[in-house]
Structure 1
Amino acid sequence: MKPIRIGTRGSKLALYQAHYVADLLAKQGLGTDIVIIDTKGDQILDVAISKIGSKGVFTEELEIQLAKGVIDIAVHSAKDMQSTLPDGFELIAFTVRERTNDVIISHRPDIHLSNPAIHTVLGTSSTRRVATLKHFYPHVQTTEIRGNLQTRIAKMEAGACDALLLAYAGVHRMGYDHLIRHVLPLEEFTPAVGQGTIAIEAFEGLDGQLRKQIIQAVHDPTTGYCLRAERSYLKELDGGCSIPIFALGTYAEGEVTLKGGIVSLDGSKRVEKQVCGPIDEAEALGRTLAGQVLAAGGKEILSKIRIQLAK
C-alpha cells in the first residue's frame, strides 16, 4: 500500500501536528510521507491577517495540492479553518482536544493582567484576543506580533512586547510550559472555534476505504461532536480569523453544551449565550446559538465590524 501523503505547513508546530497524525496512522499499520507546503499566511508576516484576507490564509495552498492529488490529506490547526470549505473539501477527522485556554507567556515573572500599575504590552495577532482584552482589561496595551511561535518569542526577547498571548495547545506542544505566567479563564477568554484540536481535511477524490481507515485511526468522536456544533455556529455568522467570534463546545453524558458569542473590535460590547442539547443535534445547536447571539445585539456588532474591516 502506498504511503499516505500528509500535507502540512512548515513551521515547527505544524510539523509537530503532522507527525502526531502520522504516529496515529502508524499505530493502525498505515505508512505516511509528510509534504511541506508554504501558505499565504506563512509568506506574508509583516501585514495583519485581517489585511491580507482572513479566509484560507493558512489553508488555500494545501487545498490546491489536495485537489491536484499531490497530497492525500492536509493537517491543520482546527482554529485556522474557514467557516465554509470550498466545494469538494471536507474535514473528515478531529484529534483528541488539548486544553483550550489562552495563556500568557513571558520571561518576566511579574506579568499580571489585573494590576494596572504594571505597564504591560502583550503581543498577539488575534482580533478576538485584542477585543477581549479591551473589554476586560482596557489598561493593557497590545501590539501586532506574527510568525511562528519561535519567531514570536524571539521578537518578545528583543523587546517588541513584554509578553505573548497565545493558545495553550501550541505553547505546550512546543515545550514552552516554563514560560507560562497565566492560564486565562475560559469565562473571559472563550477560545476561537476549534482551538486545541487538529483537523484532517480531504478532497472528494480520496479513496473511500482509505478515508475510513484514516478516520478510524485519527478521529476522536467526543471532540467531533463539539467541533460540529462550534463550526456550525461559525458558519452561521460567516466568521473568519479577523472577526472576534468565540465558541466552545463541551461534552458530557451524551450532550453538548455550546457557549459562544462576539465582541466588538473596541471591546465596548460583548454578547454571549449558551445552549445545550443531544449530540445528534450538534449542528442545530450551533445554528440556535448563532440566532440567539445575533438577536441579542450580535447582528449590530457584526455589521459594524465588517464595515470597519472593509476600510
Structure 2
Amino acid sequence: MSKTIRIGTRDSELALWQATTVQQQLESLGYHTQLVPVKSTGDLVLDKPLYEMGITGIFTKTLDIAMLNGTVDIAVHSMKDVPTALPKGIEQTAVLERATATDILVTTKSEVDFSKPCTIATGSLRRKAQWLHRYPHHTVVDFRGNVNTRLQKLSDSNWDGAIFAKAGLQRIGILPQYHTDLDWMISAPAQGAMVVVALETDSYCKEASQKLNNPHAEIVTRIERDFLRTLEGGCTAPIGAYAEILGNAIDFKGSLLSLDGGDKIEILKAILVEDVQPDTGVAWAKEVLDRGGKELMTQIKRAL
C-alpha cells in the first residue's frame, strides 16, 4: 500500500470534515492519503439562486475535472449534491453510513407563530415548495453560502427562520439552540449520505474506497436517486425522496411539487429488502408521472 491516495474535497468546513472522515477510515485500513481541497463554482458564486446557475453538478464539477486531469484520485461529496448521471470515466465506489436526513428550521428566537405571515430562508426549490404547501401565507427568500455563512446571514437578518440539513450542522458541531425538526418535510434524495467516487480505470483507489461502502446506505440512496433521475429528466424540480430500512423492509416516501407549492403528488411505499429490484426507484417515479407528474414537470420546465 505505497501509493498515496489524493482525496479531493471542497474547502468548506463541512466538506473538509467529510473528507477527513474518509481519510481516517482509509488510513485505519493501512492506506496513505492526502487531502486536496478545491473551491467549486457553487462556493464562489453566492449572488444567484442555485437553480439559476444550473444546479446539476455545481458543487461537484470542479472535483470531476480535477479527477479526470489527474490532480486527485478520489473525491468525497455530500451525495445529495451529486448529479444522478456521473461524468464518463467516473464511478461511485462507496456510500458511507448515513446520518440523519432530517431538515430543520433554525430560528433566532425560541418560538415563532407560524399562523402569522413569516419570512423563511432557503436556497432549495424542494424546501421552498414544501414550506409554501404547508404555509402558503409565508414568504420564502433565497440565501446561499456554506452552513457557517448561512447561519451568520440568518443571525444578521430579520427573517423568522431558515431551513438547513440537520446532519451538516451536527457533523461540525454547530447545531443552534433554537431549531425544530421538520418531520413532515420529505428530504432531498440521498440527504445525510456521503459518497466516494473514483476513476473507472483506477483499480487501486476503487478497491480501497469500496471497503468503506455501507450496503444499507447504498440500497436506499440508489432507490432515492433513481426516483429523482426518472422524475426530473435533467430538470431541477421540487422533488423529495426518502427510503429507510426498518428490520427486513424498506419504507419509502416521495413527492413532486409545483414551484409555488400549490400542487403536490406524494407516494408512500413499503417493500421487503429482498424484493428490491434494480428499477424499484424508477417504477415508483413512473407512478408519480402517471398521476399527473408529467404535466407538473412540463410546467416546471417552462417556468425555470
Which bin holds the TM-score, normalised by the shorter protein?
A: over 0.9
Q: Per-residue displacement from partner, 1:29-69 (whole Å, max 9, x unpaired)?
A: 11211111111111110001111111111111100111112
Report the secondary structure of 2:52's partner residue.
helix
Within 5 Å, which residues of 2 pair with 1:27-38?
A: 27-38=28-39
- Higher mean C-alpha displacement, 229-238 vs 63-72: 229-238
Deviation at residue 126 of structure 1 after TM alignment:
0.4
Which residue number corresponds to residue 251 of structure 2? 257
Which residue number corresponds to residue 107 of structure 1? 108
Which residue number corresponds to residue 199 of structure 2? 203
Report the secondary structure of 1:122's partner residue.
strand
Which residue number corresponds to residue 115 of structure 2? 116
Q: Structure 1: any 5+ residue segments left out of the alignment?
A: none
Which residue number corresponds to residue 135 of structure 2? 137
> Counterparts of 1:121 and 1:282 in 2: how far apart (Å)?
42
Q: Percent identity?
A: 33
Q: Which residue among 152, 155, 159 is the counterpart of 2:153?
A: 155
Deviation at residue 209 of structure 1 after TM alignment:
3.9
Deviation at residue 280 of structure 1 after TM alignment:
6.5
> Counterparts of 2:112 and 2:233 in 1: how far apart (Å)?
32
Within 5 Å, which residues of 2 pair with 1:84-103?
A: 84-103=85-104
Which residue number corresponds to residue 69 of structure 1? 70
- Higher mean C-alpha displacement, 256-265 vs 89-98: 256-265
**How many residue pairs get matched?**
302
Which residue number corresponds to residue 297 of structure 1? 292
Within 5 Å, which residues of 2 pair with 1:147-226?
A: 147-159=145-157, 161-185=159-183, 188-206=184-202, 208-216=203-211, 218-226=212-220
| 1:246 partner amino acid | G
- Higher mean C-alpha displacement, 30-39 vs 273-282: 273-282
Q: Which residue among 256, 271, 286 is the counterpart of 2:281?
A: 286
> Counterparts of 2:235 and 2:164 in 1: how far apart (Å)?
14
> Counterparts of 1:27 and 1:168 in 2: how far apart (Å)?
27
Q: Structure 2: any 5+ residue segments left out of the alignment?
A: none
Deviation at residue 283 of structure 1 after TM alignment:
3.1
Q: Residues 133 and 54 (structure 1 numbering): CA distance in 2 closer, same or farther, change over 3 Å?
A: same
Which residue number corresponds to residue 54 of structure 1? 55
Query: Is contact 1:93–1:215 with CA below 8 Å preserved after alignment?
Result: yes
Which residue number corresponds to residue 44 of structure 1? 45
TM-score, structure 1 normalization: 0.92
